[in-house]
Amino acid sequence: MAKSTTKKKHSKRSDSIESTLGEKRLFKPSKAFSEKARISSMAQYEKLYRASIKDPEKFFAKQAEELHWFKKWRKVLETKNPRLSKAGAGGGSFAFTQWFTGGEINACYNCIDRHLSSPRKNKAAIIWEGENFEQRTLTYSQLHREVSKAANVLKSLGVKTGDRVAIYMGMTPELAIAVLACARIGATHTVIFGGFSAEAIRDRVNDCDAKLIITADGAFRRGTIIDLKKNVDNAVTSGCPSVEKVLVLKRTANAVVMIAGRDVWWHEAMAEASANCPATPLDSEHPLYILYTSGTTGKPKGIVHTTAGYLLGTYLTMKYIFDIRDEDVFWCSADVGWVTGHSYVLYGPLANGATIVMYEGAPTYPAPDRFWDIIERHGATIFYTAPTAIRAFIRAGDEHSNKHDMSSLRLLGSVGEPINPEAWMWYHRVIGKGRCPIVDTWWQTETGAIMISPIPGAVPTIPGSATLPFFGVEPEVVRKDGTKCNPDEGGYLIIKKPWPSMLRGIYKDPERFQKQYFTEYPGLYFTGDGARQDKNGYFWIMGRVDDVINVSGHRLGTMEVESALVGHESVAEAAVVGRPDEIKGSALVAFVTLKKGWPADESLKEKLRNHVAEMIGSIAKPDDIRFSDALPKTRSGKIMRRLLRELASTGSVAGDTTTLEDFSVLEQLRAGEEE
């Protein structure tokens, strides 16, 4: 596959040491950062990594001692003799790995109670900001009180250990409280993103037979109110037989219908609840949550995570990859409806006793500088966001971030999709002022925690590469036949060994679990991503393998063509899909969003085609370029290429759109086509 080349010259105004590695630019962590970091040299990282691979049981047993246990485990890593399904014996032992068996632990206790006997007791756990600029801060001891009360409310509504609770709320402190309250009593939570429709709620609630739905009257988003309660009502009316109660937070004060006997106001129930609710000791493998994620078919998969391994994975990655400190203010801008919000808004940071920022609303509301304003006012030291957001900021222009003093920042993170080198450089230069290392973190809902990422004080970074594996993670890039690829040869990314925070299954669908992840390469975990490993061992993630297009017999990653397009000065964002073509097999259609001030005309289309030809080769020249103000995305920022593919080949979209964030985008795209 063609290598992406960064031809533009960037100014050398960075503190970090830059050198070139072939054509690629290498950024070494600054001395100032490394000196203070937990892991401060490549040698130290390599030593720990080797130990974690050589003897994972020993390595993780030692790390797990940093958590609180009601009862110590009997065995660190164990394979329960699986009752192998018809889907095949492919998964074998790997698919059925359990961690810390025989142990008893509670995730909520580790995120809250454990800190109460230390000076963290009165430290801010959550600094929350509403979209309307309302502010609330909850210390660890205040959070403890609220979560204990909420846990008692759950019990009073008939929720027991092992029951499922669906949570459909905006990004308010009560969302965090609801999640932690479930964990406290061992009710398995399933958070449904607040942007999803009634249909999506119904499918998820029914798949896991949730007894209770926790929601709010509404949520503020871009200055308007999303009718959460109405969506829940519609979902339940259309058939959710398992739902007994609906607990409703009053947030937006819009009119709602409360159904007698079923609906309960959060504030009324909380007013009566006792603040005494000890955390329930739970088996290490007790299911902590189910999170639905879209698969290749229409039906979302309920990814199941259990307690001890997941908690350890998020705790350790938070500690070493974000190098979290007591004095940090950590802001992960992800919604809790996404796995990133589970692991790095809540469980990872709180298990480390960190202070987090939680923001309710849209990134550009009321003005494009909202995020930078939040960083400045709360003194955020670590900021973790998605490339899609970064590209939107680039598009809005540097003046918005330049208005703010963001000198509190010391580390930046990226997650969700490959970050193209241009966006990486902008993030580094404009937001990090050349001072902050960037951790490009590769992981999945299924992996629970970060798998491939630089350790910021130790591993030199290259824009576009997620670099090296985290402790205990053994990835490899393989060919279709399972043999290992040569350096720089593109292939399929697989994981060779179980890791503590790995998914334990797809809810109620063990066959799909085996088939999806463990049969393609028997005995190995199949990620579904394409990647290559360069001669230094660095990983370059190329996107989902189903995003590969075959043009006249040449395999092109949509990502490569997109990266080339975004490398042009006029382009803010691009999505490339294939459309069936009689001659070439597939023709390339590029949907392009331009930066402010560029004319969407034919001459620019021609320039962009030539630009791609120059960067990759004429084989990658898009046959068709369509300008659009926005692209269809999931809430976590992943472009829904499936919809664009449909649009490009049939002219309309009939498939499942329940995970689409903004429906108006499809209208715009359709309208654009009729022009």
- Under the rule (CB under 6 A), what is the footprint of ligand 7RM? 293, 339-340, 415-418, 440-445, 466, 527-529, 541, 543-544, 636
Q: Least separation, in Å, of the C-beta of 635 and ligand 7RM?
A: 10
Q: Least separation, in Å, of the C-beta of 105 and ligand 7RM?
A: 24
Name every residue whose Cβ is closer than 8 Å to that of residue 322 and which is 6 or more positions away in sequence. Answer: 328, 330, 344, 348, 382, 384, 411, 413, 439, 456
Q: Least separation, in Å, of the C-beta of 641 and ligand 7RM?
A: 11
The string over 115-143, giving b where at least 16 C-beta atoms fall within 10 Å of a residue's C-beta and e elsewhere, is beeeebeebbbbbbbbbeeeeeebbbbbb
Q: Least separation, in Å, of the C-beta of 369 and ligand 7RM?
A: 25
What span, in angstroms and rounded, lies between the C-alpha atoms of 517 and 450? 18
Specify the residue, 418 or 475, whose C-beta has the smaller distance to ligand 7RM. 418
Q: Least separation, in Å, of the C-beta of 622 and ligand 7RM?
A: 22
What span, in angstroms and rounded, lies between the C-alpha atoms of 675 and 670? 9
Q: Least separation, in Å, of the C-beta of 665 and ligand 7RM?
A: 19
Specify the residue, 416 or 490, whose C-beta has the smaller distance to ligand 7RM. 416
Q: Least separation, in Å, of the C-beta of 545 and ligand 7RM?
A: 9
CB 126 within 8 A of CB 142: no
Quote the tokens at residue 297: 């078919």
Residue written as token pair 């065995």? 75
What span, in angstroms and rounded, lies between the C-alpha atoms of 582 and 580? 7
How buried is residue 241: exposed, middle or buried, by Cβ count under 10 Å (0-12/13-18/19+)? exposed
Specify the residue, 381 or 465, whose C-beta has the smaller distance to ligand 7RM. 465
Specify the residue, 256 or 451, whose C-beta has the smaller distance to ligand 7RM. 451
CB 513 within 8 A of CB 505: yes
Specify the residue, 503 or 592, whose C-beta has the smaller distance to ligand 7RM. 503
> β-strands 287-293, 24-28: how paired?
unpaired
Q: Least separation, in Å, of the C-beta of 325 and ligand 7RM?
A: 23
Cβ atoms < 10 Å from Cβ of 217: 21
What span, in angstroms and rounded, lies between the C-alpha atoms of 636 and 642? 16
Helical (H) or strand (E) element with 413:
strand 411-414
Specify the residue, 157 or 485, whose C-beta has the smaller distance to ligand 7RM. 485
Quote the tokens at residue 36: 């203070």
Cβ atoms < 10 Å from Cβ of 409: 20
Quote the tokens at residue 249: 């937070």
Quote the tokens at residue 155: 């019990």
Q: Least separation, in Å, of the C-beta of 586 and ligand 7RM?
A: 20
Specify the residue, 120 or 544, whose C-beta has the smaller distance to ligand 7RM. 544
3-state SS record for 19-32? EEECCEEEEECCHH
Q: Least separation, in Å, of the C-beta of 194 and ligand 7RM?
A: 16
Specify the residue, 76 or 639, whose C-beta has the smaller distance to ligand 7RM. 639
Q: Is the peptide bond before 173 cis (omega within 30 degrees of 0)?
A: no
Specify the residue, 134 or 546, whose C-beta has the smaller distance to ligand 7RM. 546
Q: Least separation, in Å, of the C-beta of 236 and ligand 7RM?
A: 27
Cβ atoms < 10 Å from Cβ of 540: 23
Name every residue whose Cβ is closer than 8 Å to that of residue 272 and which is 6 or more positions away in sequence. Answer: none
Q: Least separation, in Å, of the C-beta of 403 and ligand 7RM?
A: 29
CB 92 within 8 A of CB 518: yes
Specify the residue, 127 or 419, whose C-beta has the smaller distance to ligand 7RM. 419
Coil, strand or helix: which one is 640?
Answer: coil
Specify the residue, 138 or 493, whose C-beta has the smaller distance to ligand 7RM. 493
CB 338 within 8 A of CB 191: no
Coil, strand or helix: which one is 359?
Answer: strand
Specify the residue, 141 or 444, whose C-beta has the smaller distance to ligand 7RM. 444
Specify the residue, 307 or 527, whose C-beta has the smaller distance to ligand 7RM. 527
Q: Least separation, in Å, of the C-beta of 452 and ligand 7RM?
A: 8
Q: Least separation, in Å, of the C-beta of 61 and ligand 7RM?
A: 27
Q: Least separation, in Å, of the C-beta of 456 and ligand 7RM?
A: 14
Specify the residue, 621 or 641, whose C-beta has the smaller distance to ligand 7RM. 641
Coil, strand or helix: which one is 75?
Answer: strand
Cβ atoms < 10 Å from Cβ of 400: 18
Specify the residue, 340 or 355, whose C-beta has the smaller distance to ligand 7RM. 340
| CA-based nearest residue to 436, from 448, 428, 425 | 428
Quote the tokens at residue 410: 């010391």
CB 452 within 8 A of CB 541: yes
What span, in angstroms and rounded, lies between the C-alpha atoms of 301 and 292? 5
Specify the residue, 218 or 416, whose C-beta has the smaller distance to ligand 7RM. 416
Phi-psi region of 562 (alpha: psi -120 to 50; beta: other; left: phi over 0): alpha
What is the CA 329 to chain-centroid distance, rounded? 19
What span, in angstroms and rounded, lies between the C-alpha atoms of 467 and 533? 9
Cβ atoms < 10 Å from Cβ of 223: 11
Q: Least separation, in Å, of the C-beta of 302 and ligand 7RM?
A: 13
